Structure 1
């Protein structure tokens, strides 16, 4: 604060001395009100301050709240602290950090939301139609992507050594206008509880190497229970009419093998 340069009048002051001193005081008073600055003010208490610009690079504005919380604006930017950590910071480079913040695009549908206390990220068209990323399962399960509609849900996440994609209340369809490729060490198709079927159109199920359909390959196979074509008569290597000696002493005449068929196994 500057050193005051006002002095009183001497004991022998005359009228003109008093007049000059009053004029001097009025002049300094007017100059003080016009040029009031930080040199003149050390501490200020007021109900409110109306100001055009407050230069926070020179002045620190701080509001101390309960439990050690505070709001502060200074030459480095702005801080909001909850008493334990900064919940909001904005530095002079425009870099903003928010911790524990609920961010919502608007109050009515549709809206997007980021809420660390429940849904990490969400996009809602209505209350029952949305896409969310949720943190579930702790250490062993990844965040889950959930796509929900009023009647069905679809989800994707990893847990341990398994990556899972599924649906509840709806069929799960994989489609593309190009090829759909499923690749792995082993591919297992297991109907639920063994009570359902794996359905494949055999006329579209092709061998990779021969390009033959399973249907055409099965048509070339024998049908169990059906009869083969006739084998025709044969002599079995012995001319018909040959008389053969039997082990018990009698004889028989060989007539050959007649035409016959077999039942397919």
Structure 2
């Protein structure tokens, strides 16, 4: 509503003129307070405003922070700026963009963390047990996936032109979940069950089967013979100086393998 006309009393006003003017002013003052709106307010200074809804399409709410940072809400949405760039925006369609934000499911454990300052992504069971993806890891200054626990640490990363797996403890690869020795165990040396090393070249046999069919050093061969040595057994042979002997062949025997 517009500001009411509050003209004064005429010169040499009588008592009734004063009484009527006061009643008129009181009536207009009451009406003004009851119907106070934006037409009557040019500037407002207050330590707090109690309201149900504050229309940000009409006013701009802004809080200036340190180093040029600020928070602002107006008809274009919500904006948080760190003094250099917008870290949070919510546009008129409700679409939210966050840049350089620390996001975590909770302050305790277990928790999921997205942290641009250190790890890109981490899932923590405790401060020492977690799975993490880091843009620059410790192993080779390359992107890294690491699994940490009280048992040790394993990292998967790119090293030069090759992919690498680094483990502080034994590294075991299981082919299924029944734990029936179908695994590859690397613990200082390479421990491989020969029965699980299978030839894919066409034989279809394991390394254990092929080694078992080979000669073993220090073990005697099976006994074989007798052999004629190229001379029929029973042949009479002349002896130098006279007389003869009968050729009985080479008796059955074995050899020690080296």
TM-score range, shorter chain: 0.7 to 0.9
1:75-121, CA deviations, whole angstroms, 9 ceiling, x for partnerless residues? 22222222222222223433323333222322322222222222322
Looking at structure 2, the residues matched to 93 and 158 of structure 1 have their Cα atoms a distance apart, in angstroms, of 41
CA contact (8 A) 1:152 1:170 kept: no
Superposition TM-score, scaled by structure 1 size: 0.72
Query: Is 1:98 aligned to residue 104 of structure 2?
Result: no
Give the structure with the larger strand fraction: 2
Q: 5+ residue gaps in structure 1?
A: 179-188, 244-252
Cα offsets for 1:207-226 (capped at 9, x unmatched): 33233343443444445675
Q: Is the Cα contact below 8 Å between 2:237 and 2:247 reproduced in 1?
A: no
- Partners of 2:105 and 2:113 within 8 A in 1: yes
Question: 2:143 maps to which residue?
Answer: 143
Change (3 A) 1:164 1:52: same
In 2, Cα distance between equivalents of 1:26 and 1:167: 87
- 10-19 or 56-65, which moves further after superposition? 10-19
Structure 1 81/217 Cα, relative in aligned 2: closer, same or farther at 3 Å?
Answer: closer
Partner residue of 2:228?
233
Contact conserved, 1:153 with 1:170, CA < 8 A, in 2?
no
Report the alpha carbon displacement of residue 48 of structure 1 after superposing the two structures with TM: 2.2
Pick one of 224, 235, 259 that aligns with 2:250.
Answer: 259
Q: Which ranges in structure 2 are unaligned for 5 or more consecutive residues?
A: 179-183, 239-243
Name whichever of 254-263 and 71-80 sits farther off.
Answer: 254-263
Instruction: Tell me how many residue pairs correspond in the alignment.
Output: 246
Deviation at 1:67, TM superposition (A): 2.8
Q: How large is the RMSD of aligned CA atoms in angstroms?
A: 3.9
How far the C-alpha of 1:5 sits from its partner, in A, is 2.9
Distance 1:212 1:143, change over 3 A: closer
C-alpha distance in 2 between matches for 1:213 and 1:69: 68
Q: 1:65 to 1:177 in 2, by over 3 A?
A: closer
Aligned partner of residue 56 in structure 1, secondary structure? coil
> Which one of the candidate residues 180, 192, 215 is aligned to 1:199?
192
